[in-house]
């Protein structure tokens, strides 16, 4: 999942000689608006080398219209005969004072290695591909004002929309979720010997991981965790994951489902992970995954994000 775009996603950085730049259009679809129903969101979502980061929408302030300057009154002992001293002018009834634009979210770079997922750990031995420089989106100064930053999760998911199936723009989703922070990431590995000019989505053997982390407010007062649980079960036919699909870890709750692939694979794998007030959803797509590699990638996500 946004101001003006649905659930924007991170752009790839050019890795080793690869067609990562050609993946930009597909990347934008993965977290935040692909036609298959696999969103790939914000943000969410970073200052990537080859493209513009997903808008966290840190809106600049609009300048209000000032009243015209008043006319300095002349001293009464010097005023022309028959003329009253001039008073300070007031704004006319047709003049409107424009307030600053609401700042509902702010996008900024991640500090240090916080919440970064190394591509070398997800795809050991990768030789070409791309990855995003993840950024984070946090509530803006007006986020707590429902009049300026409205946003509520729907009662039921819109399964014909993209993940997370809310039908909301990215900024609105962040507000509606009550998240303290949202982090997006994107990782792409092309097969050895692949044509560097070929689009990744048309290259057999491509592997792609997109993810979104939500650091929730204590107790999840907006109920986004419960909403996503229902949405994954309804829209991705998700079920509790087995330990062979998602390596078990203390306190981890995991759902696993599927959606149509954007990379010519039989299906994309959708995973919802939660530990306490930290929640991650991930999309693993592409036809190059071997036995055990998806479970390995999820183990890396858990280690760095949860």
Q: Would you say 170 and 2 are in contact if contact means Cβ atoms under 8 Å apart?
A: yes
Q: Would you say 204 and 282 are in contact if contact means Cβ atoms under 8 Å apart?
A: no
Report the C-alpha gap between 72 and 126 in whole angstroms: 74
Who wins on pLDDT, 250 or 19? 250
Q: What is the DSSP string of 135-177?
A: EEEEE-TTTT-TTTS-----SS--TTS-TT-----HHHHHHHH
For position 36, what pLDDT does the model report? 39
Q: What pLDDT band is residue 17 in, cutting at 50, 70 and 90?
A: very low
**Statement: residue 80 has pLDDT above 70:** no
**Statement: residue 20 has pLDDT above 60:** no
Q: What pLDDT band is residue 206 in, cutting at 50, 70 and 90?
A: very high
**Statement: residue 54 has pLDDT above 90:** no
For position 97, what pLDDT does the model report? 56
For position 247, what pLDDT does the model report? 79
**Statement: residue 43 has pLDDT above 60:** no
**What tokens does 131 get?**
């990855």
For position 23, what pLDDT does the model report? 45
**pLDDT tens-digit profile of 98-112?**
668 999 999 998 866
Q: What pLDDT band is residue 18 in, cutting at 50, 70 and 90?
A: very low
Q: What pLDDT band is residue 94 in, cutting at 50, 70 and 90?
A: low
For position 93, what pLDDT does the model report? 60
Phi-psi region of 229 (alpha: psi -120 to 50; beta: other; left: phi over 0): alpha
**Statement: residue 213 has pLDDT above 80:** yes
Judging by beta carbons within 10 Å of its beta carbon (0-12, 13-18, 19+), is residue 21 exposed, middle or buried? middle
**Average pLDDT value for residue range 83-91:** 48
Report the C-alpha gap between 156 and 54 in whole angstroms: 26
Q: 62-79 burial string, b = 16+ CB within 10 Å, else e?
A: eeeeeeeeeeeeeeeeee
Q: How many CB atoms lie within 10 A of CB 165?
A: 23
Q: 195-208 burial string, b = 16+ CB within 10 Å, else e?
A: eeeeebbebebbbb
């Amino acid at each position: 999942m946004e101001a003006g775009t649905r659930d924007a996603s991170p752009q790839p950085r050019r890795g080793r000689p690869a067609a990562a730049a050609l993946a930009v259009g597909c990347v934008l679809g993965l977290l935040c608006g692909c036609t298959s129903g696999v969103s790939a969101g914000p943000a969410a979502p970073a200052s990537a080398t080859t493209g513009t980061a997903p808008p966290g929408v840190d809106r600049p302030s609009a300048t209000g219209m000032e009243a015209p300057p008043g006319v300095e009154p002349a001293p009464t002992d010097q005023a022309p005969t028959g003329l009253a001293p001039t008073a300070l002018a007031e704004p006319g009834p047709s003049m409107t004072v424009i307030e600053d634009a609401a700042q509902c979210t702010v996008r900024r770079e991640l500090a240090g290695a916080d919440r970064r997922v190394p591509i070398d750990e997800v795809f050991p031995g990768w030789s070409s591909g791309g990855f995003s420089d993840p950024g984070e989106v946090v509530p803006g100064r007006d986020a707590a004002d429902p009049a300026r930053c409205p946003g509520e999760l729907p009662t039921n998911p819109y399964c014909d929309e993209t993940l997370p199936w809310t039908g909301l723009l990215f900024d609105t989703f962040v507000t509606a979720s009550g998240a303290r922070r949202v982090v997006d990431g994107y990782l792409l590995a092309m097969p050895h010997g692949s044509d560097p000019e070929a689009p990744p989505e048309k290259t057999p053997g491509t592997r792609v991981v997109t993810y979104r982390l939500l650091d929730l407010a204590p107790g999840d007062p907006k109920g986004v965790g419960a909403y996503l649980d229902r949405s994954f079960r309804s829209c991705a036919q998700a079920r509790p994951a087995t330990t062979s699909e998602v390596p078990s870890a203390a306190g981890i709750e995991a759902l696993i489902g599927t959606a149509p692939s954007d990379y010519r694979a039989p299906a994309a794998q959708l995973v919802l992970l939660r530990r306490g007030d930290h929640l991650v959803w991930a999309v693993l797509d592409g036809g190059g995954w071997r036995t055990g590699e998806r479970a390995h990638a999820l183990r890396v996500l858990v280690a760095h994000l949860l």
